[in-house]
Chains A and B, each alone.
Chain A
Amino acid sequence: MGKTVGIDLGTTNSLVAYFDVATGKPRCIEGPYGSTLCPSVVSLDADGTLTVGEPARRRLLTQPERTIYSVKRLMGRGLEDVREELRLFPFRVEPDSKQVIRVRLGDRVFTPPEISSFILRELKSWAEDHFGETVDRAVITVPAYFNDAQRQATRDAGRLAGLEVLRLVNEPTAAALAYGLHKAQRGLVAVYDLGGGTFDISVLKLISTGEGDIYQVLSTNGDTHLGGDDIDNAMIAAARTQLGEAGAALSAEAVQELRKALVAAKHELSEGGTIDVKVLLPGAAGGIAYVRHWSREALEELVTPIVERTMGPVKQALADAHQKPHAMEEVVLVGGATRMPLVRRRVEEYFGRVPHTSLNPDEVVALGAAVQADILEGGVSQGNMLLLDVTPLSLGIETMGGVVAQIIPRNSTIPASAQDTFTNSADNQTGIVVHVLQGERELAKDCRSLATFTLRIPPMPAGMARVEVKFLIDASGILQVEARDLRTGEKHSIEVQPSYGLNDAEIEKMLEESIEFAEEDFATRQLIEARNEGESILAATHKGLSSEAAHALDPSMRAGIAEAVEALRAAMKGQDYKLIRERIETLNRDTGPLAEAMMNQVLHVTVEGKNLSEV
């Protein structure tokens, strides 16, 4: 049996962590690029090679149509749910996607769980490289406000990656676990989690008992369509407006280049007050120059409506927990977007308390997942702590007239269950259809359809059949259904057809197909990736040297670049991927002045062009 890890499968970045027995603490594992963050980006080459993480993120610039990011936004969703997403993200969704969305990546088509499984596999290989042994079980985190279909899709992704998913843990709750370890605070705690694509708020009570500490979630709320991505999109929209016609006509490559520059600026503005963004976007006539002096105020104007959207769920979660904002003894911030000073100010203002920020908001969720993995494996954490989580949405069944009868209310501690007895309404009716939904609205059409199933009964007079159905939400927040014929006492087998999601047969098929993407040796894969990267920087350098701008370089610079090019070429012939990467870095540094010269060239042309037209 292999090792168990905790995984944060994020919208923007994913991480893998484990519980270090020696120190009694969870730890994140570093990937081959020296960071614990694995960008949640997947790229598929024309020759069928998959690239995941940092190198795939770079490919967003060179091969956007073969690269996908933020796929978490599509997990467990139907085509009609993601119209908004399709407007803002470059997802190439197949128009005939039915229960499960299918996305085009180069010349292949995948479901979101498959794409997520590629990310999980990458993290699995990081961990295997770290331990030197197999990793086959994992605790994976999900946004607390994920519904059943989104949770099932995440579990399917784990299965497709060759991982037994021991448990899905809600992200804010996982953060609370890591936080509790970090600081021995007891009492009421609010966790405000604004990630790349999702927002969660959870109210917890941390209780010390004779046995150990209990982390009891009192309520949770959120928005699975709200996060840092939305801020990026708002910035991009502002930039495109500024660029006018050229902005409207940007190519996919140019948009990604712009996104990269703006995201970097967003990060900078969390530290400083202003930043000058200057970027040359690929386009007609030497490119399109985007230049703007961004101030923190300008950014905050864009961010304010997004932060205000988090306040509705925050208020609802407090109301459901029967608590007032000032009763919170600690407020914990999680998720990269909470680094923004505006978010911190707003949270502080609302709760009347300076939020706790000493934990790394990127890593804390993965660390909590590793603690939960240790609990489930019977490690030391099991004796110290227990997590009692809740279901975020009410569970109901459709009754007469399309009205929903609620059977498990939202914020019920899980596992939770409910029973209902069904009968035949007509003589000799042989099937009773049960429609299960999730949501807070009164009508079935306004709730999220989870599944439909038919209870088979022998022909008999109306009202004589008695079938008891037990609905159970397990500790991962996933629904299980069991039926029993009360006359015979026999268990009914029920085939549940998920409304949005893959059935078992489809997953089996995908598992078979996925063998063609079987793990290559880790080092081989790194080597291929490093060489590919080397090829693209060599091509870019060549292009730069033959451009107008190259005249501005002095001979010693030219010689330096030539030397770095040769050194990289030599390394690419060898087998050492680390050496290749080192030399890529050197070449990158040496071509810095060239890139700047190219930028100035375009700016010059743009300004001159303007002058001419204005004369």
Chain B
Amino acid sequence: MSATEAATGTTCWSCGAAAEGGHFCAKCGAIQKLPRGTDHFAFFGLPRQLWVEMGELEKKFLQLSWKLHPDRFGKASDEEREMSLERSSQLNDAYRVLRDPVARVEYLLSLEGMRKEGATKQQAPPELLEEVFELNESLDELRSAREEHQGAAQTAGLRGRLEEAARNFEARLTDVDAQLMTAAKEWDATVGSGDATAGRAALAKMNEILNRRSYIRNLVRGVAEELGTE
């Protein structure tokens, strides 16, 4: 075994056997260094697909926790403790992302170079423009009513209208989630078929849906906060 091979992780650092990319050496059982750039899907040995069986994922998470957690390496060498820290932190990060359907899509999009952190567009989707306009107007009215120290009785009608609008937007969220699900299935199919063009199209669609989703969510949250501040 050459030093470079060991450093790049193609062989086991402990026994020199060919490394097969697992968490542990198949031959001697030693924990392996985590190669840089391992993605969350690969970490769990999953294809880059959005359908994830939750029960299986949790089971695997617990199994790997049992093996990789720093508690298992209390008496190990500094190097092994470092490997355990790296692997168990990615295990936790990966599980956190993969078990949440929306975070999972966002993660896939960033892996595929479709989405940059913090670069989401905060523009109202065209079909919602009118409703958003009305909602913002009601919100403004409520704020100025509050500045004039009007009581709950005077703003009751306004609050009712806002609550209804928030409920409508929440219902839209359910639609949006259903659309996301459909697009996710399209993506998963292209992973199987290898159709790159269709794959890009599915990703673009999901990106657009996610933008809409985060816009609506912020809207609903904004209303809830405004109504809750009295």
B75-117 vs A, Cβ < 8 Å mask (1 yes, 0 no): 1000000000100111011011000000000000000000001
Q: Is the CB of B71 within 8 A of A375?
A: yes
Q: Is the CB of B65 within 8 A of A417?
A: no
Q: Is the CB of B65 within 8 A of A375?
A: no
When distances are taken between beta carbons in the complex, the residues of chain A under 8 Å from B89 are 414-417, 472-473
Select the residue from B74, B88, B93, B96 with max chain A CB neighbours within 10 A.
Answer: B74
Q: Is the CB of A415 within 8 A of B92?
A: yes
Say yes or no: is B51 at the interface (Cβ < 8 Å to chain A).
Answer: no
Q: Is the CB of B93 within 8 A of A377?
A: no
When distances are taken between beta carbons in the complex, the residues of chain B under 8 Å from A388 are 65, 69
Give bound CA distance, A475 to B82, whole Å.
12
When distances are taken between beta carbons in the complex, the residues of chain A under 8 Å from B63 are 209, 211
Q: Is the CB of A382 within 8 A of B74?
A: yes
**Nearest opposing residue in chain A for B68, CB measure:** A415
Chain A nearest CB, measured from B193 CB (Å): 32
**Residues 51-83 of B contacting A (Cβ, < 8 Å):** 62-63, 65-66, 69-72, 74-75
Q: Is the CB of B92 within 8 A of A386?
A: no
Q: Is the CB of A386 within 8 A of B74?
A: no
Chain A nearest CB, measured from B129 CB (Å): 26
- The answer, among A211, A377, A417, A418, for a CB contact under 8 Å with B66, is A211
Chain A nearest CB, measured from B67 CB (Å): 8
Give bound CA distance, A409 to B93, whole Å.
10
A402-437 vs B, Cβ < 8 Å mask (1 yes, 0 no): 000100010011111110100000000000000000
Say yes or no: is A166 at the interface (Cβ < 8 Å to chain B).
Answer: yes
Chain A nearest CB, measured from B182 CB (Å): 25
Given known contacts A211-B66, A377-B75, is B85 in contact with A474 (CB within 8 Å)?
yes
**Residues 471-518 of A contacting B (Cβ, < 8 Å):** 472-475
Chain A nearest CB, measured from B90 CB (Å): 7
Q: Is the CB of B88 within 8 A of A412?
A: no
Chain B nearest CB, measured from A206 CB (Å): 12
Say yes or no: is A378 at the interface (Cβ < 8 Å to chain B).
Answer: yes
Say yes or no: is B45 at the interface (Cβ < 8 Å to chain A).
Answer: no
Say yes or no: is B151 at the interface (Cβ < 8 Å to chain A).
Answer: no
Chain B nearest CB, measured from A421 CB (Å): 9
Give bound CA distance, A420 to B88, whole Å.
19
When distances are taken between beta carbons in the complex, the residues of chain A under 8 Å from B192 are none
- The answer, among B66, B70, B96, B117, for a CB contact under 8 Å with A413, is B96
When distances are taken between beta carbons in the complex, the residues of chain B under 8 Å from A209 are 62-63, 66
Instruction: Count A/B pairs, Cβ under 8 Å.
Output: 67
Q: Is the CB of B95 within 8 A of A387?
A: no
Q: Is the CB of A415 within 8 A of B88?
A: yes
When distances are taken between beta carbons in the complex, the residues of chain B under 8 Å from A415 are 70, 85, 88-89, 92
Q: Is the interface of B mostly helix, strand, loop or mixed?
A: helix
Given known contacts A415-B88, A474-B85, is B75 in contact with A378 (CB within 8 Å)?
yes
**Residues 19-71 of B contacting A (Cβ, < 8 Å):** 62-63, 65-66, 69-71
Say yes or no: is B118 at the interface (Cβ < 8 Å to chain A).
Answer: yes
When distances are taken between beta carbons in the complex, the residues of chain A under 8 Å from B117 are 405, 420
When distances are taken between beta carbons in the complex, the residues of chain B under 8 Å from A214 are 62, 65-66
Say yes or no: is A462 at the interface (Cβ < 8 Å to chain B).
Answer: no
Give bound CA distance, A387 to B65, whole Å.
9
Say yes or no: is A48 at the interface (Cβ < 8 Å to chain B).
Answer: no
Say yes or no: is A207 at the interface (Cβ < 8 Å to chain B).
Answer: yes
Say yes or no: is A461 at the interface (Cβ < 8 Å to chain B).
Answer: no
Q: Is the CB of A376 within 8 A of B62?
A: no
Say yes or no: is A574 at the interface (Cβ < 8 Å to chain B).
Answer: no
Q: Is the CB of A475 within 8 A of B71?
A: yes
Q: Is the CB of B93 within 8 A of A417?
A: yes
Give bound CA distance, A375 to B69, whole Å.
12
Select the residue from A409, A417, A418, A472 with max chain B CB neighbours within 10 A.
Answer: A417
Give bound CA distance, A376 to B62, whole Å.
19
When distances are taken between beta carbons in the complex, the residues of chain B under 8 Å from A412 are 92-93, 96
Say yes or no: is A187 at the interface (Cβ < 8 Å to chain B).
Answer: no
Chain B nearest CB, measured from A19 CB (Å): 13
Q: Is the CB of A386 within 8 A of B65?
A: yes
Say yes or no: is A212 at the interface (Cβ < 8 Å to chain B).
Answer: yes
Select the residue from A378, A415, A473 with max chain B CB neighbours within 10 A.
Answer: A415
**Residues 209-260 of A contacting B (Cβ, < 8 Å):** 209, 211-212, 214, 216
Give bound CA distance, A412 to B93, whole Å.
8
**Nearest opposing residue in chain A for B96, CB measure:** A412
Q: Is the CB of B93 within 8 A of A418?
A: yes
Give bound CA distance, A214 to B69, whole Å.
11
- The answer, among A378, A387, A413, for a CB contact under 8 Å with B92, is A413
Given known contacts A207-B62, A412-B96, is B88 in contact with A386 (CB within 8 Å)?
no
**Nearest opposing residue in chain A for B59, CB measure:** A209
Chain B nearest CB, measured from A204 CB (Å): 14
Give bound CA distance, A474 to B81, whole Å.
11
Give bound CA distance, A409 to B96, whole Å.
10
Chain A nearest CB, measured from B88 CB (Å): 5
**Nearest opposing residue in chain B for A472, CB measure:** B89
Q: Is the CB of A386 within 8 A of B66?
A: yes
Chain B nearest CB, measured from A419 CB (Å): 10
Q: Is the CB of A414 within 8 A of B92?
A: yes
**Residues 378-399 of A contacting B (Cβ, < 8 Å):** 378, 382, 386-388, 399
Chain A nearest CB, measured from B92 CB (Å): 4
10 contacts between A and B (CB under 8 A): A209-B63, A214-B62, A386-B65, A412-B96, A416-B92, A417-B89, A418-B93, A472-B89, A474-B70, A475-B85
Report B's interface with A, CB cutoff 8 A.
Answer: 62-63, 65-66, 69-72, 74-75, 85, 88-90, 92-93, 95-96, 117-118
Report A's interface with B, CB cutoff 8 A.
Answer: 166, 207, 209, 211-212, 214, 216, 375-378, 382, 386-388, 399, 405, 409, 412-418, 420, 472-475
